[in-house]
Structure 1
Amino acid sequence: MSRSERKIDHIRHAISHEREIHNHFDDIEIVHQSLARLNFEDIQMNIQVGELYLSSPLFVNAMTGGGGEETMAINRNLAIAAKETGIGMAVGSQMSALKNVEERKTYEIVREMNPEGVIFANVGSEATLDQAREAVRMLHADALQIHINTLQEMIMPEGDRDFSQRMHRIQDIIDHIDVPVIVKEVGYGMSKETADTLYQMGVRHLDVGGRGGTNFSRVENMRRERAYTSFNNWGIPTPVSVLETSISDDLHVFASGGVRNGLDGAKAMVLGAKGFGMAGSLLKILVNEGREALTEEIHHILHEFKIAMMLQNALHPKKLNGKPHVMLGYTKQWYDQRMN
Structure 2
Amino acid sequence: MSRAQRKMDHINYALTTGQGAGTMFEDIRFVHQALPGLGVGDIDLRPKTGDLNLKSPVFINAMTGGGGDQTEKLNGMLARAAKETGMAMAVGSQMSAIKDPSERASFKVVRKENPDGIIFSNLGSEASLEQAKEAVEIIEADALQIHLNVVQELTMPEGDRDFKGALERIQHISESLHVPVIVKETGFGISYETAMKLAGTKVAAIDVSGYGGTNFAKIENERRAKKLDYFQDWGIPTAAAIIEVKKAFDGTVLASGGIKNAQDIIKSFLLGADAAGLAGSFLKLAVDEGESKLIESVFELHEDLAMMMTALGASTIRGIQDCPAIITGNLANYLLARGFDPAAFAHPVKN
TM over 0.5: yes
1:82 and 2:120 aligned: no
Contact 1:60 1:279 in 2 (8 A): yes
State which drifts further: 321-330 or 262-271: 321-330
Contact 1:271 1:322 in 2 (8 A): no
Count of matched residue positions in the alignment of Structure 1 and Structure 2: 340
Residue segments in structure 2 that go unaligned for 5+ positions in a row: 341-351
Aligned match of 2:49: 49
Aligned match of 1:26: 26
State which drifts further: 205-214 or 325-334: 325-334
Identity of aligned residues (%): 46
Contact 2:192 2:248 in 1 (8 A): no
Contact 1:94 1:135 in 2 (8 A): yes
Contact 1:23 1:212 in 2 (8 A): yes
Aligned match of 2:328: 328
Q: CA deviation at 1:19?
A: 3.6
Aligned match of 1:318: 318
Q: CA deviation at 1:309?
A: 1.1
Where in structure 2 are the equivalents of 1:1-340 lying within 5 Å?
A: 1-247=1-247, 250-340=250-340
Q: What is the letter of the counterpart of residue 25 of structure 2?
A: F
Q: What is the letter of the counterpart of residue 303 of structure 1?
A: E
Q: Distance in 2 between the 1:37 and 1:322 partners?
A: 15
Q: What is the letter of the counterpart of residue 246 of structure 2?
A: S
Name the SS for the 1:121 alignment partner. Answer: strand
State which drifts further: 205-214 or 313-322: 313-322
Name the SS for the 2:193 alignment partner. Answer: helix
Contact 1:46 1:53 in 2 (8 A): no
Q: What's the CA shift string for 1:189-212, capped at 9, x where partnerless?
A: 011000001101232310000000
Q: Distance in 2 between the 1:328 and 1:335 partners?
A: 10
Question: Using a 3 Å threshold, how does the CA distance of structure 1 residues 273 and 144 change in structure 2: closer, same or farther?
Answer: same
Q: CA deviation at 1:307?
A: 1.4
Name the SS for the 2:184 alignment partner. Answer: strand
Contact 1:211 1:236 in 2 (8 A): yes
Q: CA deviation at 1:141?
A: 1.0
* CA-based RMSD: 1.2
Question: Using a 3 Å threshold, how does the CA distance of structure 1 residues 82 and 166 change in structure 2: closer, same or farther?
Answer: same
Q: CA deviation at 1:168?
A: 2.2
TM-score scaled by structure 2?
Answer: 0.94
Q: CA deviation at 1:105?
A: 0.8
Q: CA deviation at 1:21?
A: 4.6
Q: What is the letter of the counterpart of residue 331 of structure 2?
A: T
Q: Distance in 2 between the 1:19 and 1:152 partners?
A: 16
Question: Using a 3 Å threshold, how does the CA distance of structure 1 residues 21 and 212 change in structure 2: closer, same or farther?
Answer: closer
Q: Distance in 2 between the 1:104 and 1:30 partners?
A: 45
Q: CA deviation at 1:172?
A: 1.2
State which drifts further: 69-78 or 249-258: 249-258
Contact 1:47 1:55 in 2 (8 A): yes
Q: What is the letter of the counterpart of residue 3 of structure 2?
A: R
Q: Distance in 2 between the 1:322 and 1:191 partners?
A: 23
Structure 1 runs of 4+ off > 4 angstroms? Answer: none
Q: Distance in 1 between the 2:97 and 2:126 partners?
A: 14
Q: CA deviation at 1:23?
A: 4.2
Q: Distance in 1 between the 2:281 and 2:38 partners?
A: 31
Q: Distance in 1 between the 2:216 and 2:2 partners?
A: 18
Q: CA deviation at 1:35?
A: 1.3
Q: What is the letter of the counterpart of residue 67 of structure 2?
A: G
Contact 1:123 1:147 in 2 (8 A): yes
Q: What is the letter of the counterpart of residue 2 of structure 1?
A: S
State which drifts further: 65-74 or 201-210: 201-210
Q: Distance in 1 between the 2:249 and 2:166 partners?
A: 26
Q: What's the CA shift string for 1:181-238, capped at 9, x where partnerless?
A: 1000000001100000110123231000000000001000011011111110100000
Q: Distance in 1 between the 2:167 and 2:12 partners?
A: 32
Q: Distance in 1 between the 2:112 and 2:41 partners?
A: 32
Q: What's the CA shift string for 1:154-195, capped at 9, x where partnerless?
A: 000011112122222111101100111100000000110000
Name the SS for the 1:48 alignment partner. Answer: coil
